[in-house]
Chains A and B, each alone.
Chain A
Amino acid sequence: MIAIRADRGRLWTVLGMLAVLHFAVRPRIGYPAAAPDFLLLALMLFAIRSRPGAAALAGFLVGLAGDAVTPARVGAGALAHTIVGYFAAWGRAVFFPDNLFVNGLVIVFGVWARNAIELFASGPGVGGLTMQLLVWSPIQAITTALSAAVVLVVFQRWLDIRLEA
């Protein structure tokens, strides 16, 4: 029991650190549309270690927080994060999450899918979807996946994973 609590505590510590990184470090990284999304990364790390229901709820809450600070169309972020969280947890049975490359691919697809769902749910905008989905979203997906690789390698023991080549 104590070991499980300690593991949970470590997971929450890593998630908390990612939340702090998102707000305190991300603004310094560069162009906002290309900088890694540490909150989504935290959601994905939580989702692939949780049941789909819990991951959907976590996604809803993260999305709601995003909607609070980018309320272009309130509900779009909550919907997108809920779907991504749920399917990331559900897809754990299909994918092999302890592989660094597969983890990276899941995160790349998660970021891109979140952006696509959110843009479609928000309705048409200036500049259309082309630039967002074909340029900025892939860049953000890759920077987020690279950040995930660093987090997974650095906190390998804390997250209790075995990263195979």
Chain B
Amino acid sequence: MAPGSDRSLSRRDSALFLLCVALSIVMLLRPEVGNWVTGVIRVSVMRPFLWMQQRAEESRTSRGSFDRLRAERDSAVYAAQFLPSLRAENQRLRSLLQLRDRLPVSYVSADVLHQSQPTDGRTLILSAGKKAGVRAFDAVVSAEGLIGVIRVVDGERSLAWTWTHPEFRASAFTIPGNVFGVVRPALELTGSDQVLQLRGVAIRDTVPTGTVVITSGLGGVYPQGIPVGTVIGQAAEETGWERIYLVRPAANPQNAEQVLILHVTRDTSVARAFTRESAP
């Protein structure tokens, strides 16, 4: 190949690279553009792939036999005694089944379609969408507690922000209900602890370690009574008018395989459904 043509090919490579980088940066700086583009991709190009993943998830988590499991759970427990991973999965399913029985509100159950990106867990693709009655701002819970909130709803799938998302916020209070605050993720560049912060606690209030934090229902997104986590100490960072407490989350979105999406009307409490799980 002539050197001139090689140079022009090389220039074209650089131009294509810079164009792709520029487009990526535009999407990073203008999230509304990126969200529109990815929304279109999700319901078109990615649809058959997500369908495939959903079938794979269903077969892995045995959701197809979810109802059968309810009838056979005792024998399944016995069989699973010898297999730790099966036992753990079975335990999660049993907890979820028990939670479903206790929930006083309507809900939709969904599988979590985990992805390979390192940011998986900040958002989750769920296998239920508009057709199943899912709406934006429905709360997402697992048997252990709060996972997040639905933000985008497609026909057959929905997208949830979890409590690890940098913009997640939830109004919460401590049991027995004397200290209110706002829960948000404790963002950090280094470190490895996945914790939440309970912020906005009045400087006159103190919260002992081990106190359970649950959603307060204020704001109308999360119903009252979903376990958020347990206080593990006070953050070093503190302003003049508020105390900040570190909260170990009740549920881990990265481990969630099945979740419940709650349809809650204002002023509904689901505290009784979680009583056993939220007990310290």
On A, residues with C-beta under 8 Å from B are 19-20, 22-28, 32-33, 35, 37, 39-40, 51-54, 56-57, 59-60, 63-79, 82-83, 86, 115, 118-119, 121-132, 136-137, 140
Are B119 and A63 neighbours in the complex by a CB distance under 8 Å? no
Nearest neighbor of B249 in chain A, beta-carbon distance: A126
A-B contact count, CB below 8 Å?
Answer: 196
**Contact A54-B16, Cβ < 8 Å, known A24-B55, A70-B119:** yes
In the A-B complex, the 9 residue pairs with the smallest Cβ-Cβ separation, listed nearest first, are A74-B34, A75-B27, A53-B13, A53-B16, A75-B28, A79-B24, A32-B114, A72-B122, A72-B119
Are B187 and A82 neighbours in the complex by a CB distance under 8 Å? no
Q: Which of B14, B42, B60, B192 has the most CB of A within 10 A?
A: B192
A40–B122 CA distance with the chains assembled, in angstroms:
20
**Contact A127-B192, Cβ < 8 Å, known A69-B125, A70-B119, A74-B31:** yes
Are A24 and B60 neighbours in the complex by a CB distance under 8 Å? no
Tell me the chain B residues, 16-35 only, with Cβ under 8 Å from chain A: 16-17, 20-21, 23-29, 31, 34-35
**Contact A33-B28, Cβ < 8 Å, known A126-B186, A128-B188:** no
Of the candidates B34, B116, B118, B189, the one whose C-beta lies within 8 Å of that of A67 is: B34
**Contact A126-B119, Cβ < 8 Å, known A20-B52, A67-B34, A75-B34:** no
Of the candidates B42, B55, B163, the one whose C-beta lies within 8 Å of that of A69 is: B42
10 further A-B pairs in the complex, CB-CB below 8 A; given A65-B49, A68-B45: A51-B9, A51-B13, A64-B41, A68-B38, A70-B123, A70-B125, A78-B27, A126-B163, A126-B164, A127-B192
**Contact A128-B189, Cβ < 8 Å, known A52-B13, A53-B17, A69-B125:** yes
**Contact A32-B56, Cβ < 8 Å, known A69-B50, A75-B25, A129-B189:** no
Please give, as numbers and ranges, the residues of chain B lying within 8 Å of A51 by CB-CB distance: 9, 13
In the assembled complex, B37 has its CB within 8 A of some CB on chain A: yes
Are A28 and B56 neighbours in the complex by a CB distance under 8 Å? yes
Chain B positions 200 through 214: 1 when the CB is less than 8 Å from some CB of chain A, otherwise 0: 000000000000000
Size range of the chain B interface in the assembly: 35 or more
Question: What is the minimal beta-carbon distance from B52 to any residue of chain A, in angstroms?
Answer: 4
Are A66 and B12 neighbours in the complex by a CB distance under 8 Å? no
Please give, as numbers and ranges, the residues of chain B lying within 8 Å of A86 by CB-CB distance: 13, 17, 20
In the assembled complex, B166 has its CB within 8 A of some CB on chain A: yes
Q: Which of B17, B59, B118, B189 has the most CB of A within 10 A?
A: B118
